[in-house]
Amino acid sequence: MTAARRLKIGLSACFSHADPTRSFFSGKTLQYVEQSIAHWLMSSGAMVVMVPCPTGSTQRGDVTYAHYAQWLDGLVLHGGADVWPGSYGETPLEEKWSGDRLRDDYDKALVTAFEALGKPVFGICRGLQLLNVAYGGTLYQDIGTQVPDAFVHRDADTYDLNFHSVDIVPGTKLSALYPGVERARVNSIHHQAIKDLSPEFEAEAYSATDGIVEAIRRKDPAKSYIAALQWHPEFHKSGSDTIDDGAVLKDFLTAVAAAKSRALA
């Protein structure tokens, strides 16, 4: 397949803000992607482009979010820093949960630009949380503090090898992607989670032990595609006993291809 025919997927950037204690680029903001998510998307044959934050300049010719949305075929929001509680009308319960307000604004602007053109959006971990907040939902700032007897959803020692089971909601699109599968095993690398689900979405999977929302999808099929997972599909190992995330990736890219075809028609 030629490069011109391959789907082009925009991948949101993680931010590492200027830090005087850092041994390199101490006074600079770094924007980067974790390579596993890029490799997971590329495994389908799609081309992946990190979308850097525009300069914000009003000078003629400056690149905007809209320009990226016009050029790319779909958007993936990947993991990273906490969501700023102010994004959903709360103050941080602790300073360490203040999140990254600048990245929130960046991610929401990306979503707005891609949705305006009817281009599919897929979220992973923080991406799920950001999408829920962007459409009017709220979050638990810290599961361990706010959800009694919850599973330990983030373990620094085991990191991406921290697993639990999720129950897939019957009758949902996610259930249709995994016929006959009612419960699956996934990784868990988060300490924030959906508290109040946005009315824009339906929950497609819940943590089996504590009911934390693990997958969401836009309710209205007439609107552009938005879906998200709380787990990290890119960290699941091939041949392991975790859920095969290939079906989820195919579903997203099928929606991307369909939206591209409609735009070209």
Residues noted as catalytic: 125, 232, 234
Q: Which residue, among 152, 72, 170, has the nearest Cα to 118 in the 3D structure?
A: 72
Q: Residue 182: CA atoms inside 13 Å, Cβ hemisphere, count?
A: 1
* Whether the Cβ atoms of residue 226 and residue 217 lie closer than 8 Å to each other: yes
**Coil, strand, or helix at residue 130?**
helix
Q: Are β-strands 226-229 and 121-124 bridged in parallel, bridged antiparallel, or unpaired?
A: parallel
| Residues 129, 84: Cα–Cα separation, whole Å | 11
| CA gap 248, 229 in Å, rounded | 9
Residue with tokens 């102010």: 86
Amino acid, single-letter form, for residue 216: I
Q: How does DSSP assign 41-70, residue by residue?
A: HHTTT-EEEEEPPP----STT---HHHHHH
User: First and final CA of the chain: distance in angstroms?
Assistant: 21
- Sole residue written with tokens 């949101």: 12
Strand extents, DSSP E, the chain: 8-12, 14-16, 30-32, 47-51, 74-77, 121-124, 139-140, 163-168, 183-187, 193-194, 201-207, 213-218, 226-229
